[in-house]
Every structure is written in C-alpha cells, then in structure tokens.
Amino acid sequence: MNYDYSAYYVLLSLVLFTIGTVGFIVRKNAIVAFMCLELMLNAANIAFVALSRRVGNLDGEIAVFFVMAVAAAEAAVGLAIVIALFRNLETTESSDAMELRL
C-alpha cells in the first residue's frame, strides 16, 4: 500500500519555480539569471514526472526528455549570446545592456 504523493511534488515544483523566477528578476548578472532559468525548467520537470507517474503513462517523462533537449540547446545559444555581449560591453550585467531603450 503506497500512497501517491504527486501533489506534494507539484507543490515542490511550484516553490522551486517561484524561487527561480524571483532569482531571474533579482539577479543582474546575465549568467546567474540564465541559471535561474534552468532552475525554473527543472521545477517544471519535477511536476512532469510526478504527474506522469500519477497518470500512469510515460508521456510526462517524454516531455521532460524534450525539455532537457530544449534546455541544452537554449543553454548553448544563451551562453554564446552572453559571450558576445561580454565582448561588446565588457560586462555581463544585464542592467548595463540598455541600448535598446529609447
């Protein structure tokens, strides 16, 4: 007799997601912001797996698999951009990259 604790896991993922978002908003450094993004994605993955287990089929896990693929791609491009940014502005502070502002 084992209980299904998916609700707690989803709650955990919600908390992690919120922390990730807050981090993304607060941190000025582009790379840290990017990391918070990863945090958010992982939170989503947890929820996926927990609920796929409750539902009973593997769709959730497949989704996680694809999320990881996308996260990897995104990481590559994101960091490339950060490097390009650094090369131009000599800084990784997202708050310094304000040229687009009117």
Partner 1 sequence: MPLVFVILSALLIASAVGVILFRNPIHSALCLVVNLVGVACVFAALEAHFLAVVQVIVYAGAIMVLVVFVLMLLNSKTEERTLSGVIQLVLSGIIGGCLVSVVGPFIIEQWPIVAREEPPISGSVEALGKVLYTDYIFPFETAGFLVMAALVAAAMLAKTKGGDPNHPRISEGKNDGTIQAGGEQ
Partner 2 sequence: MENSLTLACIPLFPLVGALLTYGVGKSSKDLAGWVATGASLLSFIFTLLTFQQLRALVGAHSYEVAAAGAHGAHHGGEAQVYRALEAPLFEWFRIGDFGVDFLFRFDSLTAVMCLVVTGIGTLIHLYSIGYMAEDESRPRFFSYLNLFLFSMLLLVLGGNLLVLFVGWEGVGLCSYLLIGFWHKNIAFAGAGRKAFVVNRIGDAAFLIALFLLIQHFGTLDFVALKAAFENTLASEALLTAIALCFFIGATGKSAQIPLFVWLPDAMAGPTPVSALIHAATMVTAGVYLTARMHFLFDLTPYALLIVVCIAVLTAIVAASIALVQNDIKKVLAYSTVSQLGFMFVAAGCGAYWVAVFHLVTHAFFKACLFLGSGSVIHACHHEQDMREMGGLLKVMPWTGLTYGISTLAIAGIFPLSGYFSKHHIVEALSHSGETNPYLGTYEAAFTAVITAAAIMTAFYVTRSFAMTFLGSYRGHAHPHESPVTMVIPLVVLALLALGGGVLNGMVPFQLWLGHTIPVGHVHSSESIGAALLHSWPGFVGVAFGLLFYTVLPQVPKALATTLPWMLGALRGKLYIDELYGAVIVRPLEGMARMLWKGVDQRVVDGCVNGTAAIVDVSGEVVRNTATGQLRHYALLMFAGTVFLIAFYFAM
At residue 84's C-alpha, the angle toward residues 83 and 87, to 5°, is: 85
**For 97, which DSSP code?**
-
C-beta closer to partner 1: residue 3 or 102: 3
- 98 binds partner 2, rule: CB under 8 A: yes
Residue 72 is a binding residue for partner 2 (CB under 8 A): no
Query: DSSP letter at 29?
Result: B
Using a 10 angstrom Cβ sphere, with 0-12 exposed, 13-18 middle and 19 or more buried, the burial of residue 23 is: middle
Binding mask 18-57 for partner 1 (x = CB under 8 A): xxxxxx-xxxxx-xx-xxx-xx--x--xx--xxx-xx-xx
Quick one: which of 7, 26, 62, 69 contacts partner 2 (CB under 8 A)?
26
- Give residues in contact with partner 2 (CB under 8 A): 21, 24-26, 28, 33, 94-95, 97-102
